Amino acid sequence: MDIIYTIWLRNMLRYVRSKSRIVGSISMPLFFLLFLGFGLNSVVRMPGMEGNYILFLVPGMVAMSVLFTSVFSGIQIIWDKQFGFLKETLVAPVTRLEIMLGQTAGGATTAVLQGFLILVLSLLIGMEFTSIAGFFIALVFMVLVGISFTAFGIAIASRMEDMTGFQLIMNFVVFPIFGLSGALFPISSLPEWLVPLTLLDPLTYGVEGIRYGLTGASQIDPVACFAVIGGFSIAMTVIGAFLFRKITI
């Protein structure tokens, strides 16, 4: 456990010291929340949420912040490869599983913190928590999304050597995952041919779980959401650990 904690602490210290990273990671979700939210609030009417589009949008933006931060934390693996830190870690008397779990824990924690910042900022524009229990339900789903997509990013980074290539591939993969998740528009309003693709997107269940916790309403049963995103996080952790074990320096 010491190595997991040490790597987690290293990630946290890097996160706290990088003010530009913190600001940059919340800028896009905040932009969507302010401009898209206020711009469409008088046009889009959301059933079950007092017709408040901003209320509907907040959970999606929280999920967006967690998603992007967690996935791109995988670039730390490539960075450590190029600067020799990973080699020094791999030759230490610790297992690769512990190293991977430490990286996953660090990436997921920073991602959840970024999502929490969006939650705090949303309070300034009228967001209200339905209950303390609901907040913790949303927090659980944020953690699961953070773990699953951090492990996903590590899995991809384990097979790559170039940071630019990693960023291009992640952008190609992440934007469709976010766009199909129901973060911006309700699943019920989508074309019929698009609904199955949305339901195949694991982030959909994270978004709906967060939305249930924050607003008390969701279009997918929260128990089903927990089962799917929980299973996905376990699967991605296993896959990430498997690919990380095969990493070569």
Residue numbers of the domain that contains 188: 2-245
According to the model, what pLDDT value does residue 41 have?
A: 61
Q: Domains in the chain: how many in total?
A: 1
According to the model, what pLDDT value does residue 19 have?
A: 75
Q: What is the mean pLDDT of the chain?
A: 84
Q: What is the pTM of this model?
A: 0.89
pLDDT digits (tens, 9 = 90+) for 155-182: 888 888 777 777 788 888 888 899 888 8
Q: How is residue 100 written in tokens?
A: 């991977």
Contacts of 206-209 spanning 24+ positions with Cβ under 8 A: 206/63, 206/66, 206/141, 206/142, 206/144, 206/145, 206/148, 206/181, 207/59, 207/60, 207/63, 207/181, 207/182, 207/183, 208/182, 209/137, 209/138, 209/140, 209/141, 209/144
What is the distance of C-alpha 10 from the center of its chain? 20
Q: What is the mean pLDDT of each run of 10 residues along the chain (249 residues)?
A: 83 81 76 72 57 79 90 81 72 80 91 90 77 90 95 88 78 87 82 88 94 88 94 94 81
CA angle 161, 175, 139 (to 5 degrees): 95
Report the alpha-carbon distance of residue 247 to residue 249 in Å, rounded: 7
According to the model, what pLDDT value does residue 37 have?
A: 66
According to the model, what pLDDT value does residue 47 have?
A: 53
According to the model, what pLDDT value does residue 166 have?
A: 79
Helix (H) or strand (E) holding 6: helix 2-17
